[in-house]
Amino acid sequence: MDFVTQQWERERPDLDVSAMGIIGRVGRLYLAYQAEMQRTFQRFGLNAAKFDVLATLRRAGAPYELSPGDLLKATMVASGTMTNRIDRLEADGLVRRKVNPADSRSFLIALTEKGGALIDEALEAHVATQSGLLKGLKAEELDQFKDLLSKALISAGSD
């Protein structure tokens, strides 16, 4: 990124390209983080999308079930995308659809025993992967990084 910004500074000294260097680094950091987490998910036969649904159900607490609408709100994906994810997870035996006892016209998505065991195991590996990705930062630096990222998200209108 320094090379790119130095070139722009040389070619267009009238522009302040410092934001380009920061945003470029954030983008590269995102890709590096995603690649490493994807490797972790793959060890469990998952991808980020499947992990997201299983983790959302698991963190909802016992009995580890949510309506499709609640899953949509928690994961912020389109309805058709969520249906596809649920179908795949159901085919894998990781979730099941069950009639909603509060409204028999609707259903709930519930973790199966197999799905619960898998997400617990995958979650432990995921947390270890994420910790490893940040191991080069001291506790104080992590706090500063988190605060700066929060401010940047607010500045970008996406907190």
Could you read off the pLDDT of 113-125 as tens digits, one per residue? 999 999 999 999 9
The whole-angstrom separation of Cα 154 and Cα 114 is: 39
Same domain, 103 and 62: yes
Q: Within this chain, do residues 50 and 125 fall inside the same structural domain, yes or no? A: yes
Domain interval for residue 4 = 1-43
Q: Quick one: tokens of 29?
A: 């950091």
Query: Whole-structure pTM over 0.75, yes or no?
Result: yes
- What is the rounded average pLDDT for all residues in the chain? 94
Can you give the pLDDT at residue 77? 87
- Partnered with residue 97 across adjacent β-strands are 109
**Runs of H (alpha helix) within the chain:** 2-11, 18-43, 48-59, 68-75, 79-91, 113-133, 139-155
Task: Write down the H helix ranges in 44-112.
Answer: 48-59, 68-75, 79-91
Domain membership flag for residue 99: yes
Amino acid identity of residue 126, one-letter, is H
Residues 7 and 53 in one domain: no
Does the residue 93 lie in any domain?
yes
Asked whether residue 58 carries a pLDDT value surpassing 90, the answer given is yes
pLDDT in tens, 69-97: 999 999 888 888 999 999 999 999 999 99
User: Are residue 61 and residue 88 in the same domain, yes or no?
Assistant: yes
Instruction: Look up residue 119 and give its amino acid.
Output: I
Q: Is residue 107 part of a domain?
A: yes
Q: How many separate domains does the chain show? A: 2
Instruction: Cis check for the bond before 63: say yes or no (omega within 30 of 0).
Output: yes
50 and 121: one domain?
yes
- Indicate whether 158 belongs to any domain: no
Q: Are residues 38 and 63 in the same domain?
A: no
The answer to whether position 135 is within a domain reads no
3-state secondary structure of 63: coil
* Domain-embedded: residue 79: yes
Asked if residue 57 and residue 24 are part of one domain, the reply reads no
Of 93 and 156, the one with more pLDDT: 93
Range 17-44 average pLDDT: 95
Do 56 and 120 share a domain, yes or no? Answer: yes
